[in-house]
Structure 1
Amino acid sequence: MSSMQLLPYKQQVSSLLRLGLPIVVGQLGMIILGLADTIMIGHHSTEELAAAAFVNNVFNLAIIFATGFSYGLTPLIGMLQGGGNTQGIGRVFRNALAANASVAVLLTAVMYTVYCFVDKLGQPEELLPHIRPYFVLQLISLLFIMLFNGFRQFAEGLTDTRTPMWILLGGNALNIFGNYLLIYGSFGFPEWGLFGAGVSTLVSRIVMLLVFIGVVAVARRYKVYREAILRSRFNRNDFIQLNALGWPIALQMGMETAAFSLSAIMVGWLGSIPLAAHQIMISVSTIGFMVYYGMGAALAVRVSHFMGQKDFPNLRRAVNSGMGIILSLAIVASLFFYLVRTPIIYSFTEDHEVMIVVSSLIFSLIVYQFGDALQITFANALRGTTDVKPMMWIAFFSYFIVALPVGYLCGFTWGGGVVGVWVAFPAGLFTAGFLFWLRFRYRLQQLMKK
């Protein structure tokens, strides 16, 4: 280890930005797609917009869970590449597709059960004819999402973050164009409304997967892995390892998402105006989260490469660099949210009462950017070292034992209203970030003793 060169911070930062910025662009593209979907469906019919909001909220947890599971592949690929094990990369990737497909089948079965009881979930009767077909299309999409995620994490683990970015942006463009054709019945296509939006989304997800398969099949940079991928067979050890990494990450991300959803339920107890303000602020905060998580994903790749090389001094320096970048992004996001708060609010609503409540939440939004940055940095640092089981327990403690009770106490017991409920977010995120940091310090100390 002493013969390994300690890379300067400038080089670490440059490598992280080169890896992370394409991921960030792809993530922001997904936000733009979500906004475009909402606007286009909303212009067709209010009932369809309400139905889409219900189905998307139901599926959001499943998709976050699925994405979290697929993240288990990245550190394995990164470590194998860091150690120069080309055959192992092809074998693990092949088994990851099998693992992802298995989880997709499981999630599809769970969501199909929800579908069977959709009429018992308290939704207005007039929405059910729109909800049911759109729900089925989302259900079919789950397998394609999981397989695409397998290819995406494979590419990102090999430091190829540009290919997933371009495929995501192309898929988003195809989805928006398909929406225009099938929601409104343009150029002679049938006017299917919300069902058309679901068809467009399903087709774009299938096309993105097929394009990724084509890239891996023909691109020169993947040639060295193709033979190993084709010759590999089911490997029990790989399958167990992928599940051992994937489930804790999926549960950690799922619990974080569930805590936010439960907080929304608490805000709903306060009335429609606080709930509308809450939804606006959550939509705005997603921008920051996606940017930080894009850089966090790049950090996990860098950390996994240094793990494969057993280069722990550079691993620590990579995490310090990642922390600096993500905190800088949090400062920029906070300034942006504060300086353009009025135009942001106007872009969502002109209701004066809602605007007053949104304005009162700006400070909480800014504070929680730094908790989000902290927990994303060290969650991804731990993911890169494959130390993921403690993350699951830390997430449970931070979000269910700390955040939700704090939100209830501040919002209801102590009469803080929606501002009090929002105290839960920085409380949970800072707790998670601090505990992830402590765990990473311990993990690094153990690695450097070896």
Structure 2
Amino acid sequence: MSNKEKTARNATLFALTWPIFIEILLHMLMGNADTLMLSQYSDDAVAAVGVSNQLLMVIIVMFGFIATGTSVLVAQHLGADQKEDAGKIAVVSIIANLLFGVLLSIALFFIGPSLLLIMGLPEELLREATLYLQIVGGFSFIQSILMTIGAVLRSHRFTKDVMYITIGMNILNVIGNYLFIFGPFGIPVLGVTGVAIATTISRTLGLFVIIVVLLYRLKGQLPFTFIHHTFPKYELKNLLKIGIPSAGEHLSYNGSQLVITFFIVMMGTEALTTKVYTQNIMMFVLLFAIAIGQGTQIIIGHQVGARELDQAYKRCIRSLKIAIFVSTSMAIVGYLFSRPLLSIFTDNEQIIVAGSILLLLTIILEPGRAFNLVVINCLRAAGDVKFPVYLGILSMWGVSIPVAYFFGVHLGLGLIGVWIGFIADEWLRGVLMLWRWRQGQWREMSFVDPDKRSKSM
């Protein structure tokens, strides 16, 4: 094994995580820039985009099932010094997600408006939500390729490259929002439509750049021609073996969020707007655990591929402790500064008071969510992909939704009841995920052929 591969496997969590942290932060800033700028335009526009993004998140999860499989398989093969197999996985993933992305984009363009009606969106929000959904959703295949290539580059430890591209996309998006929302230099004010156009243009330019970076960084390691000679049955099988269960867990979560959003729509536009503003702030707390989870997944994927299983076990536990501490600390800071933070988005006193209460409850919520974000990524990196799905579906639909409905709608606690449902779900799943990791079944679930590993090392 070369020194380069050893370095990849032994890379520190911080070295891998901080570019991922910045990347995720900037992705969130793109969404928050939309919300913040639209809040100067109209609270109704914010609510319309918020509901549309709930549907778009489901589509992104569908794209993510191939990207997730890519990340795990490429990392494991690199850890086992099987660069050729890692390259084949990358090629199959990019082509498969491109085709899948085009199909889903077409479907979303035509079916999306009907889904908004099914969700019970108020009539005054329907037109703007539909425009946003059709523009961003119709070009969402761009996001599918961005996600897949990003997964390939991160698994090769090129996390900084993905971060730089995200910075560029974020800058372009903010500039586009400013031009189309505030209309300087005589540019027409397009509101929600302008935000959708800016988002699509920034992603398109980002796609061109990340393709160039991929071809440069992995020069000679992407065997595109092998697909011409044989159908990639083995590669697709393993991608789907990881990706479909992983997508099932994320899809279950986003599906449950759609149902809960329906409950919130029943509470009124003000409640819906409060949820959007509060969750925008919560995402800044959440991103620490997301970045730690993704960085840990890369390290554990390399370690499992090299059969360094005890090191992988300890790495997960250390990362979990860090994530819980950081998430809890940031949740406390978010609550202490809740009023000025919410005031950035709105001057509606009822929204500010309600959002502050939700941010107080977030101090209880975030440690439980840190369990899931870190340990699920560890299980997935090791090949244990089914357990999180089964447990996730059971908890989200058997705990989160019924509890949110009972406290939020039946008892009339509103958004507080919804947050109680979130807390119950995250903590139950989190504790059981840690139990699964400690049990150790994942130690025999690697996707790397041990015989092939021994020949190549």
What is the TM-score of this pair, normalised by structure 1? 0.87
Q: Does the CA contact (< 8 Å) of 2:136 and 2:197 recur in 1?
A: no
Given the alignment of the two structures, is residue 253 of structure 1 paired with residue 250 of structure 2, yes or no?
yes
Q: Does the CA contact (< 8 Å) of 2:288 and 2:327 recur in 1?
A: no
SS of the residue aligned with 1:322? helix
User: 5+ residue gaps in structure 2?
Assistant: 1-5, 451-457
SS of the residue aligned with 1:223? coil
SS of the residue aligned with 2:140? helix
Q: State the distance in 1 between where 2:329 and 2:43 align.
A: 35
Residue of structure 1 aligned with 2:206, choices 202, 205, 208 = 208
Q: Does the CA contact (< 8 Å) of 2:180 and 2:191 recur in 1?
A: yes
- Please, which moves more after superposition, 284-293 or 149-158? 284-293
Aligned pairs (5 A) from 1:159-174: 159-174=157-172
- Please, which moves more after superposition, 130-139 or 184-193? 184-193
Q: Does the CA contact (< 8 Å) of 1:323 and 1:377 recur in 2?
A: yes
Residue of structure 1 aligned with 2:365, choices 362, 368, 379 = 368
Q: State the distance in 2 between where 1:68 and 1:295 align.
A: 20
Alpha-carbon shift at residue 216 of structure 1 (Å): 1.9
Q: State the distance in 2 between where 1:303 and 1:344 align.
A: 36
Alpha-carbon shift at residue 46 of structure 1 (Å): 6.0
Q: State the distance in 2 between where 1:320 and 1:212 align.
A: 33
Alpha-carbon shift at residue 131 of structure 1 (Å): 4.5
- Please, which moves more after superposition, 427-436 or 409-418? 409-418
RMSD: 2.9
- Please, which moves more after superposition, 305-314 or 262-271? 262-271
Alpha-carbon shift at residue 371 of structure 1 (Å): 0.5
Distance 1:346 1:96, change over 3 A: same
Aligned pairs (5 A) from 1:185-224: 185-187=183-185, 191-219=189-217, 222-224=218-220
Residue correspondences, number: 437
Q: State the distance in 2 between where 1:111 and 1:447 align.
A: 39
| Aligned residue in 2 for 1:283 | 280
Given the alignment of the two structures, is residue 155 of structure 1 paired with residue 150 of structure 2, yes or no?
no
- What per-residue deviation string (whole Å, max 9, x for no partner) do you get for residues 314-373 of structure 1? 111211221122112113212212322232233333333333333333332110010100
The one-letter code of the counterpart of 1:207 is: L
Q: State the distance in 2 between where 1:139 and 1:276 align.
A: 22
Q: State the distance in 1 between where 2:413 and 2:121 align.
A: 30
Q: State the distance in 2 between where 1:356 and 1:373 align.
A: 26
Q: State the distance in 2 between where 1:333 and 1:185 align.
A: 36
Given the alignment of the two structures, is residue 16 of structure 1 paired with residue 13 of structure 2, yes or no?
yes
| Aligned residue in 2 for 1:90 | 87
Q: Does the CA contact (< 8 Å) of 2:331 and 2:359 recur in 1?
A: no
Distance 1:343 1:73, change over 3 A: same
Given the alignment of the two structures, is residue 100 of structure 1 paired with residue 97 of structure 2, yes or no?
yes
Alpha-carbon shift at residue 212 of structure 1 (Å): 1.0
Distance 1:241 1:320, change over 3 A: same
What is the TM-score of this pair, normalised by structure 2? 0.86
Q: State the distance in 1 between where 2:438 and 2:233 align.
A: 32
| Aligned residue in 2 for 1:31 | 28
The one-letter code of the counterpart of 1:223 is: K
Q: Does the CA contact (< 8 Å) of 2:43 and 2:273 recur in 1?
A: no
Q: State the distance in 2 between where 1:52 and 1:259 align.
A: 19
Residue of structure 2 aligned with 1:225, choices 221, 238, 254 = 221
Residue of structure 2 aligned with 1:179, choices 172, 177, 180 = 177
Residue of structure 2 aligned with 1:303, choices 300, 303, 311 = 300
Residue of structure 1 aligned with 2:60, choices 59, 63, 74 = 63
Alpha-carbon shift at residue 56 of structure 1 (Å): 2.6
- What per-residue deviation string (whole Å, max 9, x for no partner) do you get for residues 267-318 of structure 1? 4444555444433332222222222111111111111101110110111121
Q: State the distance in 2 between where 1:275 and 1:48 align.
A: 12
Distance 1:331 1:116, change over 3 A: closer
User: 5+ residue gaps in structure 1?
Assistant: 1-6
Q: Once the two structures are aligned, what percentage of the paired residues are identical? A: 23
- Please, which moves more after superposition, 57-66 or 39-48? 39-48
Q: State the distance in 2 between where 1:237 and 1:209 align.
A: 28
- Please, which moves more after superposition, 384-393 or 345-354? 345-354
Q: Does the CA contact (< 8 Å) of 2:286 and 2:327 recur in 1?
A: no
